[in-house]
Structure 1
Amino acid sequence: MAYNKKYADWSRKKWFEIIAPTKIFNEIVLGETPAYEENQVIGRTVDLNLAFITGNFKYQNMKVIFQINKVTGLKAYTEIKEISLYDAYVRRIVKRGTSRIDDSFVAKTKDGIDIRIKPLVITRFKAHRRQKTAIRKTYKEFLIKKAEELEFYDFIEKVINYELQNEIRPVLNKIFPVSHVEIRRVIRETPIVIKEEIEAKA
């Protein structure tokens, strides 16, 4: 049989299980990634549909980006880098005759992590500039306050479960009727701490 260098090189690779964070996802296995050495895995990201992770179809419109920051043996542990709504979902909820209200700002969580929050509100009818400004300001102040009260993973969990969106919705409705109150993206801006030491396999 002829020597196949490409196959031989590939066969030398190890397969590392990608593990979700303990908080929210309870260290479930997200998948696998190949590498020759443990340090090649550090810093890699994986982008997954939230419905796939949870097994719950109601989360189909959201994705999560994880970053590997620690390797123990053949297990690659992650932290959440970003959560976001799919663009296709956002396009679907924006209807003719409505107003789309976007914003983007940085807040700091209770545990000192800087996050960029991108809220989105869709009104039932066309809103005037004054009403859009009031909605944007009210939602921003609410989210900044909530971030200050919550640790990073608690904030993320409440976004995923629509607790924050549902809490502010009645307030926004008093300003102008709304059809959708969303948080389009939450991006972790504080760098994820990389565990430089590769822990030995037990």
Structure 2
Amino acid sequence: MCDKPILHYFNGRGRMECIRWAFAAVGVEFEEKYLDTKEDYEQMLKKGDLLFQQVPMVEIDGMKLVSTKAILSYIAGKYNIYGKDLKERVFIDMYIDGTSDLMALILTMPFQTEEEKPKQRDLIKQRALNRYFPVYEKALEKKKYLVGNNLSLADVNLMEALVTVEEVHFDILQNFPNLQAFKASMSAMPAIKKFLEPGSKRKPIADEKYVNTVKGVLFS
């Protein structure tokens, strides 16, 4: 059994990117096996590797885990970024669900037509400014982390969301000083800093090749 987790997904962000962020934040190296063709996907199905016939899938500790949320929960619990008790964990989960909802709006953009994308950008901005960012701004008032006194998966997910939304609207944090300070603090953490640098396993913004690969594997 390989000591490093093995991530099975496309060579792009999608629903695996938050998992890459989580591993990076706790300093765990991982390997990746990409789905490049429909045959790759069908082979995994034949082997029974994909519960519910879906990716992402992560091999870790002798298990083959699917479902992004379940995988993240396992990583968070294993590497102690899931709070000190149930009360902290439920707030971590709530904050994660918020960032996940916001990120879902961004994940769909590469698959939209050029006519649809401007409307989606506006929706992302509206939701970020009016629904999500005010919540995190308030939660980080006079605090370094969202929940408790230690780094949690909620912080990692929020950091990913901030960086990603800024790729769509570069000045979106201008009226959120707590989020700006949080982003600066997280960016200075050695593990996060390394992941943000060129040459890391962080994936670039989805391009046409990625979109065509996903469509060819899953929908052809």
TM-score, with normalisation over the residues of structure 1? Answer: 0.29
More helix by share: 2
- Which structure is higher in strand share? 1
TM-score (norm 2): 0.27
> Which has the higher Rg, Structure 1 or Structure 2?
1
Higher relative contact order (CA 8 A, sep 6+): 2
